[in-house]
Structure 1
């Protein structure tokens, strides 16, 4: 199984991103949050992400105190109307230490442990990233290359991807 699959679905931004358009971030406004697992609790949704092949996708992610459920939807149109498939990932997450990113914001380490995909148990698949919440937007780590692909703690991203995000529902 591809180690990035759970991160891609759960985090909704790795390898091409399913998040919203750019904009945002990096300023550390008064509503930014780091280091607080309770800030994640609740539901988050990615804006519709259209693709050059005429399809689109979006995700809905729900965090409880230590568990995560991610629903990833693929659509056969560009506006997220005609659903073609759904993938469900269930797992756990652990929030780690605060880190200062290369862009200067304080983000927080997070590890995702996928336990099942579409109801089928998998051997635990782990992804390592960071998160940063600012003004109701959840940003995750920038997995820009193999050196920071999130497949091990030493390959955890060192910066936040402000081009992709999830919106608090």
Structure 2
């Protein structure tokens, strides 16, 4: 198949907020939210101001990027490490007592491989209570990481991870 990216339409994808809100979020994200000097204790409040539902005692370190705050929900006692990227074109739900470590990527977006124009194939991500997404790990669209499961450092979770399971370097251990 010959791909034609010029024909991409993004049909059916709704960004969830008006352009002015999206522009305001990107300004806050890049000018303040990600900066090392911006207090971690203020980050949950900023996310809430843009529509996120953030639990209590949530720690968000510097360098964390959240694409659309209004598509983020966390439980209580969540840690999100430096440089993590929550690319949430669709909802990301993070249960209580979850750790998303440094440099991890939660990516709800993808494209239809068989689409000539590479249209979207997005899906939500759910991290159940007690899960851990370790440093530089990746969780892809449509995946649920079960209670107490671990996606190990640099591993990729491309399908659901059963509760208590360990995923290492793309394999289940």
Structure showing the higher strand proportion among its residues: 1
Q: Same fold (TM over 0.5)?
A: no
Relative contact order, higher structure (CA 8 A, sep 6+): 1
Structure showing the higher helix proportion among its residues: 2
TM-score of the pair, normalised by structure 2:
0.27
TM-score of the pair, normalised by structure 1:
0.27
Q: Greater CA radius of gyration, 1 or 2? A: 2
